[in-house]
Amino acid sequence: MLDYLYCFDKNYNLQAFTSIFSIAEHSEKKANYYILHNEPNSFKPLSKELIKHPKIGEVEIIKFDKNDVDFPNLEKTHVSEATYFRLYLETYIPKSVNFLIYIDPDVICLNSPEEVLVKEIDNLKKSNFAIAAHTENIDKNELVSMYLRLGMKNERYFNAGVMIVNFDFWSSENYTKLLVKKMNTIFEDIVFWDQDVMNAQFDGDYLELDENLNFTVPIDIELYEQKIQPHKLNEIVFLHFAGKFKPWSVRGLFHPAAEFYQSNYRKLTSKKYHIVNNWKVLALKDLSKSIFTLKLLSLKHPLSFIYYVAEYLFRQNKKGVL
């Protein structure tokens, strides 16, 4: 049975709920899910819904309680301390687990994951690496700057949104201790949070993961349409909405890939859209622009879209949050 790992806080409860559901919907066998969460009770009602799915085994919510840790580069960013939770695997994950498939909550499953994951796990088992991850396609000049910033020697930098972890190897090599030490050493130089920490520590020593297990959605729609041909959609297993672009933001919802997220969300709730925006003013501007340009007519449910954006804005306003 496969074992998945998610790390998030209450702000990503619905996103993770939708992500896990999408995996279960495309799975042929049951899988277990481990969740590191700083407020487990906030996710328990959703976990009770998840375990009703025939392809979901156990859902174990584990409280992350290292509240005294100062995590780098979180002020005024779109991420929370939850992104660093996975550095502490040895502290929280049961020793009975051999391999973990880490998934970011902004990942949606498009096709059956088991066959390709089992193959990748077998490859990792035969290797001398603790993790398998997919290398980012980064401009050479940017890479040089990144290597200098993180003190790296290799020429690869991976995206940590989807990883396979050889947990036996990870534990035997004390990677949690090594990663925490590395985080404190490069504290002031960290830009991309725990992903920087892991890349600085592993420094190219990882197994290359199939791109279809971590296919990052290009923000540019033209580039996206070039990369996502009809046949490609039958190959992509995990679609990753990396960075600031999210399919639940008002602007992000107009990206054609956003429908993969929203369609899964609709299966779980009575609502047509899940809408959350970090900035109220920006959300209002994007809504107005979509109305005046008639762009909202490209959506499946334009009137519902207006309703749920307005509902979101009003709800935030009631709480006094701008």
CA proximity to 187, closest of 174, 178, 175, 196: 196
pLDDT at residue 294 in the model: 82
* Tokens 């496969």 belong to residue: 2
* Tokens 């047509």 belong to residue: 272
Render pLDDT for 143-176 as a digit per residue (tens, 0 to 9): 888 989 999 999 899 999 999 999 999 999 999 9
CA proximity to 268, closest of 17, 7, 10, 13: 17
pLDDT at residue 300 in the model: 87
pLDDT at residue 229 in the model: 80
Helical (H) or strand (E) element with 102: strand 99-103
Computed over every residue of the chain, the mean pLDDT equals 92
Render pLDDT for 207-219 as a digit per residue (tens, 0 to 9): 999 999 999 999 9
pLDDT at residue 287 in the model: 84
pLDDT at residue 290 in the model: 87
Cα–Cα dist 109/102, whole Å = 13
Render pLDDT for 59-97 as a digit per residue (tens, 0 to 9): 999 999 988 899 999 987 778 999 999 999 999 999 999
H helix runs in the chain, sequence order: 13-25, 44-50, 89-92, 114-126, 140-150, 167-172, 175-185, 193-202, 221-227, 258-268, 280-292, 302-318
pLDDT at residue 48 in the model: 96
pLDDT at residue 297 in the model: 86
pLDDT at residue 284 in the model: 81
CA proximity to 209, closest of 271, 117, 311, 92: 117
pLDDT at residue 141 in the model: 81
pTM: 0.94
Q: Please list the ranges in the chain whose pLDDT falls under 50.
A: 316-322
pLDDT at residue 292 in the model: 84
Cα–Cα dist 322/316, whole Å = 7
pLDDT at residue 322 in the model: 25
pLDDT at residue 278 in the model: 67
pLDDT at residue 59 in the model: 98
Residue 226, burial from CB neighbour count under 10 angstroms (0-12, 13-18, 19+): exposed
